[in-house]
Structures are given as structure tokens and as C-alpha cells.
Structure 1
Amino acid sequence: MPVNIANELINATACEIKDRLVRKDIKPTDLLDALEDRIQAVDGPVNALPTLCFERAREFARKLENKPIEERGLLAGIPVPVKDLTAVKGVRTTSGSPIFAERIPEWSDALVETMETNGAIVYAKSNTPEFGAGAHTFNPVLGTTRNPWDLSKSAAGSSGGAAAALATGCAWLAHGSDMGGSLRNPASFCGVVGLRPSMHRLSDGPGTSPFQTLSMQGPMARNVADTALLLDAMVGFKNMNPLAQPSPEDSFLSAANKKIKPLKVAYSPDLGVSPVDPEVAEICRKAALQFENADVIVQEKTPNLCDAPEVFKRLRGLDFVVGLGPLLDQHHDKLKEDIIWNIEYGRSLSAEDIAWAERKRGEIYYTMQEFFTEYDLLICPTTIVPPFPVEQRYVDECAGTKLETYIDWLAIVSTITLTASPAISIPCGLTKPGLPVGLQLVGKPQGEGPLLSAANLLEEILPKIQTPIDPKS
């Protein structure tokens, strides 16, 4: 493929790519050719997509090309990488763990099946921390993903490979997942968009805990409209997830493109749960106030969420016991210390400890519902720091405050996890050294449409953070 045509495709938005596919200006195999060349050119030092499956992807693409355009699905053949925690039939899926270093699933996760039915072509697995634990993407099997804005910095996590692939033009759309901010943190660090949907908006599975309520899968892209497009391709009930919801009547992309302004939004500098780096706080405050240029009322207000960090710590500990406890018993020497700590902490909890957390989570939910009677959105920083040195395991200090565990620096996103609300991170500025900062917008439960609409409006107002980029030393 000529370089100028490949570059044109790589720099296009996903919505533009879809339109060209529908018009038959291009074919899905053209997109795979462009991606393969781009990955070879730029992904080496970034390590966003360590596992490639182009042979499988081309076979899928050829079958798609033989169908009438109206039968090719919503995405019409747009390639999408899948996070390495999520099974794809016939493709190495390691979860970043030596325990599963050579695992090749014989089945695909229900969400992957939904995306493929809707015209997504899986061509790669994106890198993740071991079992997705932690917000810095490194593991002993596939190595470390670096931030393309500065290769000496972290891409965050746990969907760090997905975010870095988007930022470098190695993807137009990307799949990820989020327990304590894993779609939102890397979006912030890499200058892209990540959406954690409402609880069980999407069908996935099978999994070890189909009734869990913390970890959700979701879409990432370079802009809000593209993120909405992928969300549309992800929804749909499958019985592998007993709590999942049916598809909405109206598309999320249609909602996003309406750009309906909220009437009144609240900005919180820290949600009352975490220190925030002063430069990050100032960039986010100025970005939130840009809503005023659309005649939206912006007020500084923080709901009472002070118990959320301890609630999340306990419920996360319980989830780790359910999901990974048996692996600790069988493979103690193959698990990283942070995972061992999480499981052992979960096992130390009493029934009353967990009951307290469940009661408090209920209070947090109702506090937010009362808050949303006055405000349409809650806005705050996505991450409390800019991208940190890649050698660090996690952020252990912020604004002079010592942080004890590897999840403490995630409180500003993990708090929102507990509310059952959808939340999106959009790029909102650059630090003085030129590193991206993300702004987190939180909507009402089941309110992805209005949230995407407002986020798309604000994205239009804010200065553009240009992606894709070539990796920077």
C-alpha cells in the first residue's frame, strides 16, 4: 500500500473509516495492511500490542468482504484489538501471567462474539498488567508498555496497551476493561478517550464470578464519537452474563452527535478522597469551566464519598479471593506480590467487614442519586498525577501525601466505580513537559447517552490533543 494512502487511513477517525467501508472506497483488508505496517514501524519501543493475529484477521476480513455491505455489521470491518485478559478463540491469551503464558482459548468471550457479529475484526491482543491488577502496564510474560508521549513514562493501566495503541495509530478503536479505573487511567495518560459503562451494560463471560459488580468491559478510542460507535457495537444481551442488559433503542453514536448541553454540572477537585497534583488540578479545573462557554452552569461541589476508598478496598479484596484465590493456592510462586497481598487481604476480612462495605456502598449510591437531582454531571480529574516514570510500580506519593498500597492512587476513579454510574475520561490539556491530562465526566446510571452527548460537546470546546503520534523519546 502506498505510504500516503496508509498514513491517510491511520490518521482518519473510526467514524470516517466506517463511512469509507460502507461506500466501498476501502476494504477491511486495506485497513489490516495499513495497521500491520504501522505496528511494525512504531510499536517496538511502545509494546502496546505484543500479540498479533493478522492471519486470523485476514481470514475473517475476506469472509466479511464476500458479504453484502448491509450484512457486514455496524463496524463494517473495522479492526479492533482485544485486551489480553479477554479470551479470543485461537489467539494466545496470557492475562500477563506465567501461569497462562501459553494459553490458547478454544472459545471467545461473549463480548468478543458480539463485536465480531457487529463487524469488528480482531487482529491483536493489547498488553495488560498481570491479571489486570494495578494501573501500570507491565508483566513478566509480555513486558512493559511505555507511554508514546514520553517513552520513559508509564502508559497507566490496566488497559494500557489499548490506550497506547490508539495514541500511536496502531488502532482506531480498542477494547478494554475497568475495575478501579482501568479504562479511564490509561486514557488520561495517553491522551485518548476511555468509557466505563454503567454496571453490566455489556454482556461478557463466562467468568469465575458472573454476579460481580466491580469490573466492567468497555470501549476506548481517540475521540468521543468513535468511543460511542464502539459502544454501540458492544451492546447486546447474551446469557453468559446473567445481569447484562438489552440493547437500547437509540444508538449511543446518535446521542453523542446531538451534543446536547447539560444544564448544570458540578466540578470537584478531588472527590474528597485523594490528593491531586497541583498542575493536574489546575488543568482540570480550567477544562471543566470551559463548559461555561456553552452557557452551562458550573459549580464547585463535592458529594460526600469519603468512605469510598475503604469500601472499594474491601470489595476488591473479596473479588480477588473469588477470582484468583485458587491460583494463589496452586501457584503462589508465580503471582506478583501485589496480587498476593490483595488475595490475602481479602481472606482476612470478616463477614461483618464485608457487610459494612456493602451497606456503605448502598449509602454511596443513594448519595449520588440525590446529587444528580441537582446536577446533570459530576466532573473531576481522571488521574491524580501526570504520567510517572516507567520504572515505578505505582504512585506512592502525591502532593506531599504518602500513599500506602498500589491501589491508593486510584481512589478518584475507584470511588466512581462504586456508584454504578457511567464515567468517561477525555483529554483536557497537557502539562508543561507536554504530557496528557484527562478529565473524568460522571453521569447518571444507565445515562451513557446524555454523558456521551455532553462529553462530545466539551471535547469540541477544549483545545485538541492531537493523536495519533509517533513515539517520543
Structure 2
Amino acid sequence: MGSQRKTNGLSHTAVPGQLCDLTASQARLLIGQGVISPVEILESCIARVEASNPSINAVVTKAYERARLEAVRAAQDVADGRPLGILHGLPILIKDLNETENIRTTYCSPLYEDHIPNADDTVVARLRQHGAIVFGKTNSPEFGIGSNTTNRVFGPTRNPFATDLTVGGSSGGAAAALSTHMAPIVNGSDSGASIRNPAAFCGIVGLRPTPGLVSSPERKVGMSTNGVEGPMARTVADVALLLAAMAKHDPRDMMSVPVEPKQFLTLKSVDASSLRVGFSEDLGFAPVDKIVRETFRRKLEIISPSLAVCEECDVQMTDAEEAYWGVRGLYLLAGHHARYKQHGQALDANLVWNIEDALHSTPLQYAEAFSAQTRIYRDFQSVFDKYDVLITPAVNVLPFPHAQSYPTTLEGRPARHYAEWYSITYAVSLVGHPAISLSAGLDPHGTPFGLQVIGTRFNDRRLLEVAQALELVLSSHAETRRPEPDVAALSS
């Protein structure tokens, strides 16, 4: 974005008309160089929220006053020549499932409509320590359950490309805010699809890291591949920048592993023509609509000449549906059963259904689910004996009306339950591999289409490097280039 110029041996990015249109990497460079002020970019982001948010309802709580004070201090730190954090001066929006000090945190539930925490949760505190400036909260389903971003407190978030359609979820407010340049970076969280499918539906980039890379002691079930915090942005480089601030070892998180976060600031350039890519339309089990399969094949046809290998991979994740449902059931029971006992039917219908379904499962069924998870994980490793990454569609379906809770039919037959439409992502959650959603242009209906790129466990840096190479290939073709919504129309 913008032209390049050289000053005193440093590469500077020319400032665009609207500072909120800068990528996070561009903005951080310019802040550090004193070319722009944290105050200026914050005000530009606030102006974009005020103009576009009424049309899409991505930001549900605003925290401008405190953010403005922090931006002034951040600007002074630059002027004084003080050490600057990885995210110094960058405005950030936080998902309304993360606790934020003195900023309303509702979990998008009527039960917590007026809840104001007295401290940040661990991940938010970490982002602040690296210099990010929190100026608002983004919409989610109630307690993040479900993948259509709507709730009884704030209502639906609307897709910036077609406001009658869903943004997916649960990090749907985050994805819509990024798509419309309300902020250069946002945080997300992902159990089954919650970073990846909203990223796909909104035309941005979202990473579900390897569980344990971004530690979070607040997780209710320590030894679980569910409930991963992760970065979302408009480019792979910005996702890597945010991951460098989010990743950290914390012994209080049972999944946490030693990590050097700064590795994500120095991604190596990868030649796309050296990449061996396997692809699967459905991972051998997921119901993927015909139009998604056809669009997926078309996108791969466009980029495959730029790759060393791009061939169909015989992935058979048989039993992934039943295994994930069992693993997920125990996870939700641990996190929400006490709340269900206290509030019952006052909770969102999706959560009530999940809890009651889990309660009716037997110990043997849970044992079989965990056994199947182990078997599926072991079999899945063979994919990476031959390929650098595995690519699938990022979602089983195209965006559907936000007034509809979920697609009731898949491949022409009735859906088994409300979550089956994102099974192609929760299968990857089951095995605990990192996966990134890359924008690949538009689908035949004119809304964004995404690719899920899957890498090897605890090799997130390599996945980001490969994703950056694929991003470059995708951006070189009009049909696969990342789309932008009509912000002027939304603002009007």
C-alpha cells in the first residue's frame, strides 16, 4: 500500500490518505520512525468505527477515553527515545470473551451485560505490555458457542460484503472490523472454527496456532486442543507480528511449551516454486457443498502452476465427527456445567443443547472419542511425510443469512447438528495442528472465499513462511487477490 521512499538508509512507507488503511507492520514502522503518531492512527481507527460500524455491528463496546490517554503516552515514549514494544502504539480491538480491565466484558451474554472486570486476562495484559492500545471490544456468539456471530445482547454482526449475510464466528466481530480497517490487528480465539471461518467469510487472515504456543492460564481444561487464542490481521506479516506479542510460555497453562516469540518477527522468504502442496476437498469425511468444491478447485487451478507440487491427497479422517463431538462435549461440560445448573434455560439455546447432549453421553462413549482422536492424529501425521502443507476449503459452505442460525442442509441432506457446517475446520482442531485461513478472492456469489492451510505441530513459523509465499501467489492473480469491501457504501 502506498509507494516506497528511502530516507537515511531506512525504507519508509508513504502514508496513505487514511492511517487506518495502513497494515500493522507499516504502521508500527512509521510510529517507530516518528513519521506518524499513535494518536493520529488511533483517531483514524476511531473515525472508521464511527463511520462503518453502524452498518455491520462489529464493535460492541467502545473504550476511546482511556485509549486516547494511552496513545498520548505512547507518542511521548517515541519522542523521548524510550524502548518500544513489538506493538507500540498500534490500536487493537479485543474479542468480548476476553476480560479487559475497566472495560465492559459481557461474554455476549445477558447474564454479564453489565460486567466490568478489575483486571485484564493474561493474553490482553500481554498485548498491552507489548504496547498495543485497546480501544474497543468485538462481537461474538454467547460464550463463543456457535459460529454465527449473533447474541441477545448486541444482535448480529453483518458481513461487510453483503450485510444480509453472516460473518461466521465466533470471532466474527473481529474479522468484520479488520475487513473494514477499523483496526490493523485484533485478537481471536478458536475451538472448532472461530478464527478461521470468519477470516474466510470476511477476506482477512487468521491463524489458529498450535495449542500451547499462546499460553492462557484461564483455560478451563488444561490438557485440551480446544480453546486456542490466536492472531487475526489483513496480511500474513501482520499475523506474525501479533503472534510475536501473543506467544509466551506460562507454566500455569498445562499445554504451554517453551517458545522464542521473536522468531515470528523474522520470517524467511520462501520460493513458492519449491513448495509441495497436498489438498483435500473434505478430509475424507466432511460434508462440503458442491459450489465450495468447485470454487476450491478453481482457486487451486490458478495458483498450482506457481508450485512445485499441488496434488490431491488421500486424507481419511474417518470418525473425526464423532471423536470431536465427544472431546468437545467434555470441554464444554467443564467450562459451563456449573453455569447451566445455576441458570438453565436462561442460557443461549446452543449452549443448553450442547450441555444436555454431553450429559447424555456415557463414559464409554467419551473413552472411545479420545481413543479415536489419538488414532486420527497418528494417521494424520503421514500427510507431512510428503507435503509441506495441506490445503482445504476454509468452510464447508458459502456465507448464509445472518438471521439463519446455521445451514440446515449440507450436500442436499439435513444437517446432523448446528455445528456440522464447519466440520472441515474442527477436524483440524481435533488433531491440534496449526492452521491459517488465507483469503483467495471471491466466491461465485461475490463474497470472500478462504483457503485453510495446515502445517505441522509446533512449526508455526514455517507455516507462516509458507502462507506468506502463498499469499504472494494469490495476490498476483485478480481472481484470487484479497478483496476489499465497499467501505464508502457502508459508511453512507
2:393 is the counterpart of 1:381 = yes
1:230 partner amino acid: L
TM-score, reference length from structure 2 = 0.91
2:245 partner amino acid: A
Deviations 1:237-288 (A, max 9, x none): 2344232223326522422655566532211011122222223222222323
SS at match of 1:418: helix
TM-score, reference length from structure 1 = 0.95
Deviations 1:294-328 (A, max 9, x none): 34201101322011111111111111111010111
Q: Distance in 2 between matches of 1:170 and 1:353?
A: 45
1:137–1:459 Cα change, 3 Å: same
Match of 2:104 in 1: 92
Q: Is the 8 A contact 1:312 1:418 kept in 2?
A: yes
2:137 is the counterpart of 1:125 = yes
2:157 is the counterpart of 1:140 = no
Q: Name the stretch that deviates more: 54-63 or 427-436.
A: 54-63
User: What is the identity percentage for the equivalent residue pairs of Structure 1 and Structure 2?
Assistant: 36
Q: Shift of the alpha carbon at 1:236?
A: 1.5
Q: Is the 8 A contact 1:290 1:461 kept in 2?
A: no
Match of 1:242 in 2: 254
Match of 1:25 in 2: 35
Match of 2:441 in 1: 429
SS at match of 2:356: helix
Q: Shift of the alpha carbon at 1:390?
A: 1.3
Q: Is the 8 A contact 2:267 2:465 kept in 1?
A: yes
Q: Is the 8 A contact 2:185 2:233 kept in 1?
A: yes
SS at match of 1:266: strand
RMSD: 1.9
Q: Is the 8 A contact 2:247 2:261 kept in 1?
A: no
2:37 is the counterpart of 1:15 = no
1:401–1:388 Cα change, 3 Å: same
1:186 partner amino acid: P
Question: Which of 27, 44, 50 pairs up with 1:34?
Answer: 44
1:107–1:158 Cα change, 3 Å: same
Q: Is the 8 A contact 1:256 1:452 kept in 2?
A: no
1:113–1:249 Cα change, 3 Å: closer
2:340 is the counterpart of 1:328 = yes
SS at match of 1:174: strand
Match of 1:342 in 2: 354
Question: Which of 68, 83, 86 pairs up with 1:58?
Answer: 68
Q: Summarize the alignment of residues 257-336 of structure 1 with structure 2, pairs less than 5 Å apart.
A: 257-258=269-270, 263-336=275-348
2:33 partner amino acid: R
1:98–1:261 Cα change, 3 Å: farther
Deviations 1:71-96 (A, max 9, x none): 22011211111110111111101111
1:326–1:174 Cα change, 3 Å: same
Match of 1:160 in 2: 172
Deviations 1:364-405 (A, max 9, x none): 111111221112111110011111011100111123122121
Q: Is the 8 A contact 2:16 2:22 kept in 1?
A: no
Match of 1:192 in 2: 204
1:5–1:260 Cα change, 3 Å: closer
2:445 partner amino acid: P
Listed as ranges, the gaps of 5+ residues in structure 1 are none
1:256–1:382 Cα change, 3 Å: farther
1:260–1:249 Cα change, 3 Å: farther
Q: Distance in 1 between matches of 2:151 and 2:236?
A: 30
Q: Shift of the alpha carbon at 1:17?
A: 0.7
Q: Shift of the alpha carbon at 1:411?
A: 0.6
RCO higher in structure (CA 8 A, sep ≥6): 1
Deviations 1:166-205 (A, max 9, x none): 0111111110000011000000100111110001110223
2:90 is the counterpart of 1:78 = yes
Q: Shift of the alpha carbon at 1:30?
A: 1.0
Q: Shift of the alpha carbon at 1:40?
A: 0.7
Listed as ranges, the gaps of 5+ residues in structure 2 are 1-13, 475-479
Match of 1:218 in 2: 230
Alignment size in residue pairs: 470
2:41 partner amino acid: L
Q: Is the 8 A contact 1:147 1:153 kept in 2?
A: yes
Match of 2:264 in 1: 252
